[in-house]
Structure 1
Amino acid sequence: MTGRILVVDDVATNRIVMKVKLAAACYAVDQADCGEAALAAARAGRPDLILLDVVMPDMSGLEVCRRLKAEPETADIPVILITALTDRASKMAGLEAGADDFLTKPVDEVTLLARVRSLLRARDTARELRQRGEPALGFAEAAATFAGQERPGRIALVAPGPKGAVLWKTALDDRLGGEVSILPRDAALMGVGSEEGEAPDVFVIAADLTHRNEGLRLLSDLLSRPATRNAATVMILPAGDGERAAIALDLGAHDILYDPVDAQELALRIRTQLGRKRQADRLRASLQAGLEMAVTDSLTGLHNRRYALFQLDRMIARPGRGVAVMLLDIDHFKQVNDRHGHSVGDAVLSLVARRLRAQLRTGDLLARMGGEEFLVALPDSDRRAALDCAERLRASIGETPFLVGGEVPPLTITLSVGIALAAPGSSEAGQSLIDRADGALYGAKAHGRDQVTLSPLPAA
């Protein structure tokens, strides 16, 4: 099964008909016959999507939707309201209650299934991001809490002609505020839409621009480009064009609307998409922060041992002049901690890291391996270049005393450095290079410290 859907309707025949349609599309279907039963089923079963009738005997579908969106456990479950009501006020009330769509009976099966696919795809993406990000930073904020709390965002309007775009913009300016801009197709493809040069948060695109289906092709292009692939998209289609509405949703549109555009409805749908976009952005930021934490030393901000070993093996595998690996160890560091305390020792480690980084190229690898030991790896480096760099690093630490503040006097800190070289095309593993550099480091320590020692090449 591709998802579990809860169908809520007080008429058994309606539930059965809907279940047959969904089951034919390989969805698992649960059923509820009233509002209270729907709330209980949603809390207990956590369905992937809810199809909810508006008119029911115990409470309206609008009230059920409000309660679902108010509870953190059910707030992120997509809800499609299905009703015989056709008036505009009912649709606006449904969208304001938090529903993702409002479909009028009899429901077009093609449009319904396309909408279901679209919402399930969006929820799966958010769920995956949340699961990856939560273990790192504990991000666990319900989707519904974002809407209305963030600034309106950047909205880009791509319409067939300036007249239509101006009408959209005028209507949205009165209801959304913020930055609503009119973009030609080419500017949209470049991801341009704000003074800061950032891509818009939401694109509102007419299906037909200069040519028929040009808006649909633009949608595909936007989703394929890094600058705009995470933006939300609302497609505007001719009235009654359910076939192309389904195509737009399957291409990746986040929402659809039909001409003539109702300005209030468009504003409501944009707010919903902005809320989801904000949530997804935060989840991605949480995930990125978690990934960085996993490969970063928290004290110095340098890469850690795990990252260094992985990157070193990649560096050796690349064609080039060779790779130089250095292990650097702060001499007599224990005495710093014993005399001045661990807070001063931490400050020294951070300052050492800063000075080392300042001496290295952009493509060089610098990592803290643990304690007072650091690793440097130089791609495209030979013996002379490695020795020159090692002497610069040693001098950057030993020639200028460290000022850590407080009542601590300037501290003289020195480094011992061991170097191991991998010849071009070498098959030597990164850990083997590190072991040889460690042996050279031991030699530097044994011969008086504050010096550089080079490991001999391994026997052929």
Structure 2
Amino acid sequence: MQRRILIADGIPANRIVFRVKLTDAFYQPLLATDGAGCLRMARSEQPDLILMSFDLPDRPGPLLLAALRGDPATCKIPVIAFVPPGDSAARLAAFRAGADDVMSRPPDMTVLLARIRNLLRQREEASLMAEAWGGHLAQMPGLAEPAADFADPGEIGLVATRPETALAWKHRLGGALRNHSHVLSPEEASGIWPGERAAAPSVFLIEADLGTPGGGLRLMSQLAGGSTTRHSMFCVMASPHDPAAAAMAFDLGAEDVMAPGTGGEELELRLQRLLRRKSRSDSARKSVEDGLRLSLIDPLTGAYNRRYALPRLAGIAEQAAAAGSDFAVMIVDLDRFKSVNDRFGHAAGDAVLIEVVRRLSENLRMNDMLARIGGEEFLIALPETSQPEAERIAERLRRIVGDAPVALGPGRPALPVTISIGLKAAGGAAAPEIGAMIDEADSALRRSKTAGRNVVTLCPTARLSLHAP
């Protein structure tokens, strides 16, 4: 789908130039001649990105940006603002009002098109994460953070060819950011704190030509692929006389590019924005990871749930068929569990489930799988396990659960608990049908119940073991 870019500029010649350049780059340009038209088209057309002059005739740039950022329909659209060359006050005002980037007029088209690609890619990544949750991240509990809540500034790594250059950057910053900024040599940055993810800087500020032309960009690419630094934000210091370096930095994934002469106030403002973005990104990623984990884990017992168990069991069966090895499946059920809930309450029932899972987990191997597939019913998969070995494991689990009662806490009686197990073993070159295998194990479990409970039954043979009278 062709991306649409809204151009808001009061000068016809500028609109023509932008329209031609964007059309040549396979974007669909939309044109607005003033601030009112920009707002109206942003709301109705929902462009992918906005290019706006900061001095439109009918509305000051800060007010127009505030209106875009204050409207839920337009607040997430990336905006690049254009200001007169050398107007540092306008640059600061644009960044403070919410512009994603600010460029002097006329912009270098190579850099501008690279920045457009960069911002659109960032927006697409955020949209993909939102779609995975079925909504917008900013509207979802736990994923939206107020911009004002910025207590921990995070750490900033300053990397330049000469330490004096990085120290000069540091001294341009205010007290809080200065205290959290660290001068790093290229060697220190490239080998940063291996295995200590929490110690990696939140933001790297890297000189583009680090030792050699493009050396900083190569370092950035290395850090972006590193296990400890891949979630860091990257800002590149590139000379305004080298637009190719700035464009390359954006295409390689830098979150921002600045000129070496950027003033301290603007430098601090832009680094703070990157730190806030890093904090929001970490929070969103953690929420997604927690959500994915909870979608696969039973929240009460910590065992896997059915959603995870069935595909994992199918994978175990396929691996066994490919290797010609054996594996086994157990269906485990707590005996007379309903009476525990009826007599002692659901809190006691929960305590019993948690303790039984703990005992089972502690007596299974690392590559075995334990999943809760019903109220008091569990599935255990044993990869690379022969039938005799599976029988021994099942008997051991039955004995470990039943040998000691479950303590319910001070002043309450300990409850004797037993389990019944249905066991199905399989092997050979053909992977069995998982649903049928589970049904056979479940049938063996029912025979264990019929035989008096606290029993292991192997399918399709008769009862294998029974508790001592």
- TM-score of the alignment, normalized to the shorter chain, above 0.5: yes
The Cα of 1:407 is off from its aligned counterpart by 6.2
* 1:164 has 2:158 as partner: no
The Cα of 1:373 is off from its aligned counterpart by 0.7
Q: Which residue of 1 aligns with 2:464?
A: none
Change (3 A) 1:147 1:3: farther
* 1:182 has 2:186 as partner: no
Residue-by-residue CA offset, 1:421-440 (whole Å, 9 max, x unaligned) = 12254521332332222122
The Cα of 1:331 is off from its aligned counterpart by 0.8
Q: Which residue of 2 aligns with 1:337?
A: 341
The Cα of 1:134 is off from its aligned counterpart by 5.2
Q: Which residue of 2 aligns with 1:352?
A: 356
The Cα of 1:444 is off from its aligned counterpart by 1.5
Q: Which residue of 2 aligns with 1:383?
A: 387
Tell me if structure 1 keeps the 8 A contact 2:143–2:287: no
Q: How does 1:411-430 map to 2 (within 5 A)?
A: 411-423=415-427, 425-430=429-434
Give the whole-Å Cα distance in 1 for the aligned partners of 2:101 and 2:188.
Answer: 30
Give the whole-Å Cα distance in 2 for the aligned partners of 1:180 and 1:418.
Answer: 61
**Structure 2 letter corresponding to 1:409:** P
Q: Which residue of 2 aligns with 1:265?
A: 266
Comparing 296-305 with 324-333, greater Cα deviation is found at 296-305
Tell me if structure 1 keeps the 8 A contact 2:46–2:74: yes
Tell me if structure 1 keeps the 8 A contact 2:4–2:48: yes
Q: Which residue of 2 aligns with 1:15?
A: 15
**Structure 2 letter corresponding to 1:203:** F
Q: Which residue of 1 aligns with 2:59?
A: 59
Q: Which residue of 1 aligns with 2:122?
A: 122
The Cα of 1:176 is off from its aligned counterpart by 2.0
Quick one: higher RCO (CA 8 Å, sep 6+), 1 or 2? 1
Residue-by-residue CA offset, 1:272-301 (whole Å, 9 max, x unaligned) = 222222222222222222222322223222
The Cα of 1:135 is off from its aligned counterpart by 5.5
Give the whole-Å Cα distance in 2 for the aligned partners of 1:195 and 1:299.
Answer: 31
Give the whole-Å Cα distance in 2 for the aligned partners of 1:135 and 1:404.
Answer: 42
Q: Which residue of 1 aligns with 2:281?
A: 280
* 1:323 has 2:324 as partner: no
Structure 2: gaps of 5 or more residues: 462-469
* 1:46 has 2:46 as partner: yes
Q: Which residue of 2 aligns with 1:444?
A: 448
Give the whole-Å Cα distance in 2 for the aligned partners of 1:13 and 1:136.
Answer: 38
Structure 2-normalised TM-score?
A: 0.90
Give the whole-Å Cα distance in 2 for the aligned partners of 1:313 and 1:433.
Answer: 11
Give the whole-Å Cα distance in 2 for the aligned partners of 1:276 and 1:197.
Answer: 17
Comparing 76-85 with 116-125, greater Cα deviation is found at 76-85
* 1:6 has 2:10 as partner: no
**Structure 2 letter corresponding to 1:296:** I
Tell me if structure 1 keeps the 8 A contact 2:328–2:382: yes
Give the whole-Å Cα distance in 2 for the aligned partners of 1:56 and 1:69.
Answer: 17
Give the whole-Å Cα distance in 2 for the aligned partners of 1:142 and 1:112.
Answer: 31
The Cα of 1:220 is off from its aligned counterpart by 1.8
Q: Which residue of 1 aligns with 2:465?
A: none
The Cα of 1:197 is off from its aligned counterpart by 4.7
**Structure 2 letter corresponding to 1:329:** D
Classify the secondary structure of the residue corresponding to 1:13. Answer: helix
**Structure 1 letter corresponding to 2:169:** W
Give the whole-Å Cα distance in 2 for the aligned partners of 1:326 and 1:25.
Answer: 60
* 1:99 has 2:60 as partner: no
Query: Aligned residues, how many?
Result: 457
**Structure 1 letter corresponding to 2:431:** S
Q: Which residue of 2 aligns with 1:69?
A: 69
Tell me if structure 2 keeps the 8 A contact 1:72–1:142: no
**Root-mean-square deviation over aligned CA pairs:** 2.6
Q: Which residue of 1 aligns with 2:133?
A: 133
Q: Which residue of 2 aligns with 1:216?
A: 217
The Cα of 1:206 is off from its aligned counterpart by 0.7
Q: Which residue of 2 aligns with 1:401?
A: 405
Q: Which residue of 2 aligns with 1:453?
A: 457
**Structure 1 letter corresponding to 2:111:** T
The Cα of 1:195 is off from its aligned counterpart by 8.1
Structure 1-normalised TM-score?
A: 0.91
Comparing 326-335 with 401-410, greater Cα deviation is found at 401-410
The Cα of 1:177 is off from its aligned counterpart by 4.6
The Cα of 1:191 is off from its aligned counterpart by 4.3
Identity of aligned residues (%): 41
Change (3 A) 1:239 1:110: closer
Tell me if structure 1 keeps the 8 A contact 2:160–2:207: yes
Comparing 369-378 with 385-394, greater Cα deviation is found at 385-394
Tell me if structure 1 keeps the 8 A contact 2:65–2:99: yes
Tell me if structure 2 keeps the 8 A contact 1:232–1:273: yes
Tell me if structure 2 keeps the 8 A contact 1:10–1:57: yes
Structure 1: gaps of 5 or more residues: none
Tell me if structure 2 keeps the 8 A contact 1:139–1:283: no
Change (3 A) 1:400 1:136: farther
Tell me if structure 2 keeps the 8 A contact 1:84–1:105: yes
Corresponding residue to 1:361 among 365, 368, 379: 365
Classify the secondary structure of the residue corresponding to 1:412. Answer: coil
**Structure 2 letter corresponding to 1:328:** V
Q: Which residue of 1 aligns with 2:306?
A: 305
Tell me if structure 2 keeps the 8 A contact 1:398–1:413: yes
Residue-by-residue CA offset, 1:400-445 (whole Å, 9 max, x unaligned) = 1122247652211110111111225452133233222212212211
Tell me if structure 2 keeps the 8 A contact 1:130–1:140: no
